[in-house]
Amino acid sequence: MTARPIAVVGASAAGLAAAEALRRGGWRGPLTLIGDEPHLPYDRPPLSKQLLHGSWEPDRLLLRTAEQLAPLDLDLRLGTRATGLDVATRTLTLDGGERLGCAGVIIATGVAARTLPGADRIAGVHTLRTLDEALALRAELAHGGTPGSGGAAAGEGEGEEGGGRRLVIVGNGVLGCEAAAVARELGHDVTLVGIEATPMADAVGTEVGELLAEEHRARGVRLRTGAVEGFETAPADPAGTGDPRVTAVRLADGGAGGGEGTRLPADLVLLAIGSRPAVEWLADPALDTTDGLRCDAYCAAAPGIYAAGDVARWDHPVHGRPLRFEHRMNATEQGMAAARNLLAELATTDPAATGAGDGAPAQERRPFAPVPYFWSDQYGLKLQAYGLTAGADRVETTVLDRAERRALALYGRDGRAVGVLAAGIPLRQLRALRAVVATPLPWEEARERIGAATAAG
């Protein structure tokens, strides 16, 4: 047995999937899983939904219990941060100064929440990326609110006084919209602010985004357009000790949306302004860390160095360009693919440790070519999409039932259909739609197949 481990950096969904796939694939050597949070690997999508709502507790988010992890025989390093990687020697440096020489490395460090200057020194201003951050926001929301009161509109979406805390959400992408829905369901006064006028427009297009905007307004969410200029604060306590507490958000250039001008009163603020790939610790010039860790079609960033999940930007063999997905299903699938391809590479140099010396046929590396999938739950509305919806140069949306927010959208790029999104569509129809964009088709052919699949439903 080799003394050099395979190290998986990132105790995430992608990292856990990689570790399990390494063992299933026959890796007999040491296996180290490194995570900067103190928690066992957990699922992140419920943070902005069930956990924030309070319907789930943290233990329900665990991807595996300690007992379920035991058979993997992991060297589990929780609360440990990787601070460097020497690509030539495959040597990791950890935050305690330890240097760990590895047979191979899989990087699954994901992304970190973006923030605004000085926000970390203002009480009541939150981000929502980790379990601890979600619990902190949930605890503050629990100080006010009337569960079940979010179903009534508030004066054409202008909110209502009393009953809950005033929450301003900065960022009207997926995370901001999901958190807004939960906060309204809990009875809080919610203002959703975005640079773009239409929620989630970058991800789903303008027409689907407008349907979402209608639903949020109907539920009592105020929508504003503008960039944040700064925060207003008050002393945390009469003695003036501790961080000042947020009292309002100021928008630059007068904002838009009417009513309150440039000042949005706030008891709490959630910054949901996007994320950045967690690559700042990768300073080796052999690696390209522009918008994530650049990989080839096999998820390899360098010999013996692979990446998976939100951090990986790899050459998608079907779409013919580098892509990076921050989607849950992709994290698991790519973690497994990176592990399989790393083992195939190592089998040529250390067959005993990989199980390749048992007479089993050697595995070959395979390109990672998934059909991307994402979903978003807001109130009773479920959005589901296959393929690429962001960056489309053509979008065709069919609103099937405006009152029920049922719609179907087709997304194109360079004359081919590359993505499809459904809102309120039965599962049997959705499965048929996936096949339309699994391999990009000419636009008109895809339109015909979408129409046939919808009519057959």
Q: What is the mean pLDDT of residues 346-374?
A: 81
Tell me the two tokens of residue 387.
Answer: 């393929």
pLDDT at 239 > cutoff 90: no
pLDDT at 287: 98
Q: What is the mean pLDDT of residues 214-242?
A: 89
pLDDT at 432: 80
How confident is the model over 122-150, as pLDDT tens digits? Answer: 999 999 999 999 999 999 999 764 444 44
Percentage of the chain lying above the pLDDT 90 cut: 79
CB 210 within 8 A of CB 397: no
pLDDT at 201: 94
Interhelix angle 443-456/427-438, nearest 10 degrees: 160
Q: What is the mean pLDDT of residues 343-362?
A: 76
How confident is the model over 169-205, as pLDDT tens digits? Answer: 999 999 999 999 999 999 999 999 999 999 999 999 9
pLDDT at 452: 80
> What span, in angstroms and rounded, lies between the C-alpha atoms of 129 and 48?
9
pLDDT at 261 > cutoff 70: no
Give the pTM: 0.91
Q: What is the mean pLDDT of residues 239-252?
A: 87
- The least confident of 68-77, 116-125, 248-257 is 248-257
pLDDT at 238: 67
pLDDT at 256: 52
Q: What is the mean pLDDT of residues 53-79?
A: 98
pLDDT at 351: 76
How confident is the model over 404-449, as pLDDT tens digits? Answer: 899 999 999 999 999 999 998 877 777 788 888 999 999 999 999 8
How confident is the model over 288-329, as pLDDT tens digits? Answer: 999 999 999 999 999 999 999 999 999 999 999 999 999 999
pLDDT at 426: 76
The torsion defined by the Cα of 351, 355, 359 and 360, in degrees rounded to 10, comes to -110
pLDDT at 357: 61
Sign of CA dihedral 32, 36, 38, 39: negative
pLDDT at 1 > cutoff 60: no
pLDDT at 255 > cutoff 70: no
How confident is the model over 263-288, as pLDDT tens digits? Answer: 999 999 999 999 999 999 999 999 99
CB 220 within 8 A of CB 154: yes
Tokens 């961080």 appear where?
Answer: 243
The domains found in the chain, sorted by start residue, are 6-113+275-358 (3.50.50.60), 119-271 (3.50.50.60), 380-456 (3.30.390.30)
**Which are the contacts of 450, defined by CB distance < 8 A and separation ≥ 6?**
408, 410, 417, 420, 433, 436
CB 294 within 8 A of CB 87: no
For the chain, give the secondary structure using H, E and C.
CCCCCEEEECCCHHHHHHHHHHHHCCCCCCEEEEECCCCCCECCHHHHCHHHHCCCCHHHHECCCHHHHHHHCEEEEECCCEEEEECCCCEEEECCCCEEECCEEEECCCEEECCCCCHHHCECEECCCCHHHHHHHHHHHCCCCCCCHHHCCCCCCCCCCCCCCEEEEECCCHHHHHHHHHHHHCCCEEEEEECCCCCCHHHHCHHHHHHHHHHHHHCCCEEEECCEEEEEEECCCCCCCCCCEEEEEEEHHHCECCCCCCEEECCEEEECCCEEECCCCCCCCCCCCCCCEEECCCCEEECCEEECHHHEEEEECCCCEEECCCCHHHHHHHHHHHHHHHHHHHCCCCHHHHCHHHCCCCCCCCCCCCCCEEEEEECCEEEEEEECCCCCCEEEEEEEECCCCEEEEEEEECCEEEEEEEECCCHHHHHHHHHHHHCCEEHHHHHHHHHHHHHHC
pLDDT at 240 > cutoff 90: no
